[in-house]
Structure 1
Amino acid sequence: MEEFLMYKIVIDGTPVLFSDFLSEDDCASVIAEATGAARVVFIGTPCTPLLVKTIEELVFRDNYVVVRDNNDILSPRDKREREIKTCSEYVRKLTSSGTIVRSRETCLGCASLVREGEFKIEQTVVVTQLEVRTLLATMKALGVVYDGLDEDDAILEATRRERAGKSFTELLVQHLLVELPLFDWQNPERYESTKAALFAQFVATVHDLTYLS
């Protein structure tokens, strides 16, 4: 549990948990952190069997669960893509009417699936991935924004071949990520905890600039 807590930040009073749902431990950590919340919002987390298992447990515990994601697959080509499509359909049925799960073909940027400040509500916990694009969507959902955030998110969601140029956010975050240690598959904690801390620094910078402007 302590290992997971390194990947938690607070955005303007709301806890944000980072998880890729790669193991049963990820599920258990998120459930333990989110159980006491009135509302659990998943942003940009692909619908996988482990995510479904987590959501099922939260719903069973009477948490109000909302999912906003753009990783559905319209025309699955392999086993994993078929799995995501099946899980996406199930998540829509399992969660609240506020859930929106779309594909990147129909919704390039996850930030476009949330309104500014939509989930800045007391007793809310947000769960997302430790990625810049999902961080931007989470920031918007919690009311920490800047001009051009949606456009930056769409650029970051696009494949490298499709990108016309680098966004302000990408340039800024790349500058911050220079401080990251090399990723070690056998010991990823140092890299990921440092990345989460840099994300918190980025959010604080945007927050301060917003209030100063």
Structure 2
Amino acid sequence: MSAVERLAAGNASARLRAAMTVGSEPGMVEALLERCAVEPDFFVRDMLTWALTRQPVELTVSKVLAEVRSDVPQARSQALHTLSKLGVPDTWSAITPELLRDPDDEIARTAWRAAVVLAPEGERAGLAAVLVTQLGRGDRMVQLSLSRALVGLGDLIEPLLPLTSPDPAARAHARATELLLRDPDAAFALDVERAKRVDSLGPQRVAELGA
């Protein structure tokens, strides 16, 4: 059975083992990227990305960048994840504002994480300005991903947080992000609830109540 056939085996464990072994085999970039676009198992996809990082970077980067523009959502998401693991600074420009605002939550979440890893120092404030426009979006996991990305940019996000936004969801998410920035070990779910209480009662009243 060829390496390509092993990557498409019916059993996820077999595909995982195949991804582990083909990383050191030459000429596998295209096959790995093709499998990334269709692989249903999260752990196998992560191993495919690891295998891509074992291929020669000068052969890998251009092909991964092409996948960022793919019509297949999973291919775009996995390519962004791979860029974050390759860590090549020049690939920052591939993470466009459109990707950061992508309506597909998984693509957006992956773009946020990759952007924080790859953004050069001079671009981080601009990145934060785009990311804060997404506050209030999605379910708890989407909001946690965004807050972690923002916190990864450091204190520069604090003046950008829309704490007085007319949108209550964005306002509460901004407050929860502010709390997470001050205490990275805080439980995010609790912080969201606390942010809602602060938003409705005011910080002084919350402190008085010990809520």
Which TM-score band (shorter chain)? under 0.3
Q: How high is the TM-score relative to the length of structure 1?
A: 0.27
Q: How high is the TM-score relative to the length of structure 2?
A: 0.27
Between 1 and 2, higher relative CO (CA 8 Å, sep ≥ 6) is seen in 1
Structure with greater helix percent: 2
